[in-house]
Amino acid sequence: MEAEAEKIERHPSPPTPLHAPASPVRSAAKDAAAPATPAAPPTPAPARAAEAPAGRPAAAKRGYLVVGVVALTILAGAGGYVLVTAGEETTDDAQVAADVVPVGTRVSGQIVKVNIEENQLVKKGDVLAEIDSADYAARARQAEAEVATAAAQAAAADAQEQVVEATSKGGLMSARAMVSGSSAGVSSATAQTEAARAALTRAEVDAKKAELDLRRVRELHQANAVAPQAVDDAQASYDSAQAAAAQARAQLVLAEQSKNSALAQVSEAQGHLNQSAPVEAQIATAHAQADLAHARVDSAKAALELARLQLGYTTIVAPGDGIASRLSVHLGQMVNAGQPVIELVPTATYLVANFKETQLGKMRAGQRAEITVDAFPGRKLEGKVESLSGGTGSSFALLPADNATGNFVKVVQRVPVRVAWVNLPAAVAMRVGLSADVTVDVGR
């Protein structure tokens, strides 16, 4: 132990430095950055201990300078970014969109021909597929026959209307004439009756006179005052007067019967007149029948048009230019009305950019937009704001949020903004659904 104490006294330990030595990583970095120098001869330990306090303050100053330069660079970059992007609103929540049109069948039947392939470019009016049209062609021919039948019935009704009109008016005039003639016959029969009655009265007077003359002659004959011939003449005059009276009675009866017949004819003629009097009603009825026949013609024509439309619907055509995607029918397949055939994606596209509600304060329609599409990296495209949606995206959701119930957590909403292309190169083929970044210059 004494020997160890002597060794400690003979080699005292170096004094403790005031600053902690640099970290091994920093020392390694400094060594790597410093230029290569010839190796110095080893310095005794007491000399290195004396030089360390003098080099540490310089190294600390260099570290502070580096930190300051880095901080200034960051601040300058942030300031430059703020200056460059001032008046711009950017979002990466944007997609290429188009007015996709689902094309479906309008009649049912069997597919007999498919003229396109999946994702084929089609033009407006191109035939996409065809449905068996035999049934619909037969219905069209049947409808044509029904139109012809209805037209014939309408023509007959028109002719019948003219006949009814002429018959009704003629019947009315005939009835009036019959009434007038019957009335004249009644007047004539009345006059004949009066004449017969007067003749009867005269005949009865003559018969009475003849009877008196006969009686007087008989009395004179009994008194032998006259010859028998006088009695015979008186008797003949009496018999003649009685016959004339009987004839007059018969004529009176005949005249009265004629008068009664004339009166009956007047009643019959008046009945015909009353029956023929509603001429306008009869004509109106015939006209209504004609109108009904013409209405049936119109109905048959409408049925014919519908049949022809259904026959035309068996040919499925493209409603516009675009790409026929999602082809869902094939040869021989049975389809129903309304069944989708393709999704027609128009070649004219646009962008839907979903900006935060905090970015819309200065955004207006017509502002310039810069667009980059992920499918075409490094290529900047031009556009302009076309319109802003009337509501946020969540407002049009199937189940919109109801913030009046439960706990409320405020979430920044996004509003769809429609952006139109400006001078889109023809070589750039946009596809619906592609992601894009959109920057709108709201400072203008």
d(CA 352, CA 55): 63
Give the pLDDT score at 19: 38
pLDDT at 170: 67
For 316-335, the pLDDT digits (tens) are 999 999 999 999 999 999 99
Task: Quote the mean pLDDT of the chain.
Answer: 80
Residue 191 has pLDDT above 90, yes or no: no
What count of Cα atoms within 13 Å lies in the side-chain half-sphere of residue 401?
Answer: 14
**CB contact at 8 A, 76 and 295:** no
Q: Where are the beta strands (DSSP E) in 62-119?
A: 88-97, 101-104, 109-114
Contact 248, 200 (CB under 8 A): yes
Give me the mean pLDDT over the 91-120 stretch. 95
In SS3 terms, 36-66 reads as CCCCCCCCCHHHHHHHHHHHHHHHHHHHHHH
Distance CA 137, CA 141 (A): 6
Give this prediction's pTM. Answer: 0.57
Residue 181 vs residue 415, higher pLDDT: 415
Give the angle subtended at the CA of 153 by the CAs of 152 and 155, to the nearest 5°. Answer: 65
Convert the pLDDT of each residue in 360-386 to its tens digit.
999 999 999 999 999 999 899 999 999
How much is the average pLDDT of 97-104? 94
Q: How confident is the model at residue 438 (pLDDT cuts 50, 70, 90)?
A: very high
pLDDT digit string, tens, across residues 119-177: 999 999 999 999 999 999 999 999 999 999 999 999 998 888 888 777 766 666 666 66
pLDDT for 201 equals 85
Q: Given pLDDT bands bounded at 50, 70 and 90, which one contains residue 274? A: low
Taking phi over 0 as left and psi of -120 to 50 as alpha, with beta for the rest, 84 belongs to alpha
The pLDDT value given to residue 120: 94
Just give the CATH number of 103-132+314-341: 2.40.50.100
| 33 confidence band (pLDDT: 50, 70, 90) | very low
For residue 39, pLDDT over 70 is answered with no
CA–CA separation, 436 vs 48, rounded Å? Answer: 63
| 247-264 residue pLDDT tens | 888 887 887 777 777 777
- What is the dihedral sign for C-alpha 214, 217, 222, 226? negative
Instruction: State the Cα torsion 52-54-55-60 to the nearest 10°.
Output: 110
Indicate if the pLDDT at residue 65 is higher than 60.
yes
| Lookup: tokens for 284 | 């109106």
Return the H-helix or E-strand segment holding 234.
helix 228-276
Of the CA atoms within 13 Å of residue 176, those in its CB half-sphere come to 8
pLDDT greater than 70 at residue 6? no
Fold of 88-101+343-441: Elongation Factor Tu (Ef-tu); domain 3 (2.40.30)
Question: Does residue 68 register a pLDDT over 80?
Answer: yes
Crossing angle for the helix pair 134-222 and 279-313, nearest 10 degrees? 170
- Dump pLDDT digits (tens) for 212-227: 887 887 778 787 777 8
Share of the chain above pLDDT 70, in %: 78
State the Cα–Cα distance between residues 203 and 249, nearest whole angstrom.
9
Reported as type and span, the H/E element at residue 375 is none
Nearest alpha-carbon partner for 388 in 353, 423, 412, 422: 353
CA distance 234 to 254: 30
Q: Which pLDDT does position 277 carry in this prediction?
A: 60
pLDDT, residue 175, reads 65
Size (the chain), residues: 444
